[in-house]
A = this chain, B = another copy of it.
Amino acid sequence: MNYDLCLHIDSKEPAILKLVLMNAANYIKALPGERFQLVVVANGPSAVQFHKSNEEFRAIAAPLQEQGLRIAICANALANSNMTRDDIWPGCDVVPAGLVEIVRLQREGFAYIKP
C-alpha cells in the first residue's frame, strides 16, 4: 500500500504541534520496514512554532527528521510572522505557498490528515 502522508498544521498552539509530532512518531513506529514519505506542511499562525528558539519541540522533531520526516513551511506564513528562513529549525524546507504544496502532495498520491 502507498503510505505517503501529509500532516497539516496551521495553529500556533503548542499542544497541536505536540500532537502533530506525536502523530508523526507513531506513524513511523507503526510502519517498520515500509517505505513511505511523511511530510508536515506548516502554514498560517503555526510558523512561529518552528523558530529556532523553540528548542523543546526542535529536540522532539530532530530524531523524526533523521528518520525521514520532511517539514515544509509556507513562505507567506514566515513573512506574516516577520521571520526568514534563517530563523527556522535546521533541516526544514520553505515552500512558496503552503496550500499549493498540500494540493500538490494530494495530487502525487499523499493522504491528507489534519491533526
User: How near does chain B come to A95, taking the closest CB pair, in angstroms?
Assistant: 10
A residues 10-67 near B (Cβ < 8 Å) are 10, 19, 22-23, 26-27, 29-31, 43-45
Nearest CB to that of A103 among chain B residues?
Answer: B111
Q: Complex formed: what's the CA distance from A76 to B43 in Å?
A: 27
Copies in the complex: 3
> How far apart sit A10 and B3, CA to CA, in the bound complex (Å)?
20
Closest Cβ of chain B to A56, distance in Å, is 19
Q: Which residue of B is nearest A77, CB measured? A: B26
A83 on the B face (CB < 8 A): no
Among residues 91 to 105 in chain A, which have CB atoms less than 8 Å away from a CB atom of chain B? 96-97, 99-100, 102-104
Q: Within the complex, which residue of B1, B19, B29, B76 is in contact with A45, where a contact is CB–CB below 8 Å? A: B19
A113 contacts B1, CB within 8 Å?
A: no
Which residue of the partner chain, among B1, B76, B97, B114, contacts A107 with CB atoms under 8 Å?
B1
Contact flags (1/0) for A67-94 with B, using CB distance below 8 Å?
0000000001000000000000000000
By Cβ-Cβ distance, the 7 closest A-B pairs, closest first, are A30-B97, A103-B111, A106-B111, A114-B114, A27-B99, A30-B100, A26-B76
